[in-house]
A and B are shown apart, each in its own frame.
Chain A
C-alpha cells in the first residue's frame, strides 16, 4: 500500500505568516490528493481536492500544489481561525490513506 508522510508534524507561526505543509506519497498518485482541516473538537472538513482545487467556501488564502509524489498545502497569511490539524489523503485507489497530520498553532 502507498504510504502518506506529512511534514512537519507540528508548527507554530504568527498571524500573517506564510505556512507550508508537505505531503509525500511513497508512490505516484497523479493529482489524487486531498487536504482536510480539523479544528480542535470538530469534524474534518475538505479544503482541497485534485491536489489544487479549492472546495467551495474555502478561503483563498489556502492553496495546494503538486503532482506525483510531492504535494504542498500553503496558507498565504495565517489567521487565528486556521489553528487546526491538517491531513492529506490519497484517493487514487483503495485504501484511502491519510497522512499522520500536521498541527498548526499560533
Chain B
C-alpha cells in the first residue's frame, strides 16, 4: 500500500536550518509529481512547493520563495524540503503529498512532521 512517512521535524531555533524528508513506498515514486503542504497550529492548509517526477521542474509558493528548497532522490524514494533561516511563522505540521495521475489533486498524504521554531 502507498505510504508516505515524513521525518526531520522538531524544535529549532530561529535562524537555523532544517531538512524534512518524506520516505515513499508502495508505488513507483519516480513517476509521480510530489508536493509539500503545511498547516500552522489551528490554521488551514497552505501549499508550499511542488517538484516534478524527475526533479527537473520545481515551483514554490510566494511564502516559500528564497528560503525553501524542494528536492528528491528517486534512487532513495525520498522527497526533501530544506528550510533556511527559520522563522516563528514557519511553525507548522509539514505534509508531503502525492499528485494523482488522473488529476492534479493530492491522493495520498503523509502523517506530517511538526516543526516548531522557538528559542
| Chain A nearest CB, measured from B114 CB (Å) | 12
Are B45 and A95 in contact, CB atoms less than 8 angstroms apart?
A: no
Residues of A within 8 A of B27 (CB): none
Q: How many residues of A contact B (CB 8 A)?
A: 26
> Does B44 lie at the interface of the complex (its beta carbon under 8 Å from any beta carbon of A)?
yes
Residues of A within 8 A of B50 (CB): 94, 96
Residues of A within 8 A of B35 (CB): 96
Are B47 and A100 in contact, CB atoms less than 8 angstroms apart?
A: no
Whole-angstrom CA separation of A55 from B107 in the bound complex: 8
| Total of A-B residue pairs, C-beta within 8 Å | 62
Residues of B within 8 A of A71 (CB): none
Are A44 and B45 in contact, CB atoms less than 8 angstroms apart?
A: yes
Residues of A within 8 A of B47 (CB): 89, 95-98
> Does B89 lie at the interface of the complex (its beta carbon under 8 Å from any beta carbon of A)?
no
Give the interface SS of chain A, mostly helix, strand, loop or mixed. Answer: loop
Nearest opposing residue in chain B for A6, CB measure: B44
Given contacts A34-B103, A87-B45, A94-B50, contact A43 B59 (CB under 8 A): no
Which single member of B44, B45, B105, B109 contacts A91 (CB below 8 Å)? B105
Nearest opposing residue in chain A for B100, CB measure: A49
Are B103 and A49 in contact, CB atoms less than 8 angstroms apart?
A: yes
> Does A32 lie at the interface of the complex (its beta carbon under 8 Å from any beta carbon of B)?
yes
> Does A1 lie at the interface of the complex (its beta carbon under 8 Å from any beta carbon of B)?
yes
Q: Which residues of A contact B (CB under 8 A)?
A: 1, 32, 34, 36, 38, 43-46, 49-50, 53, 55, 85, 87, 89, 91-92, 94-101
| Given pairs A38-B45, A91-B105, 5 additional interface contacts (CB within 8 A) | A46-B100, A46-B106, A50-B103, A96-B35, A98-B37
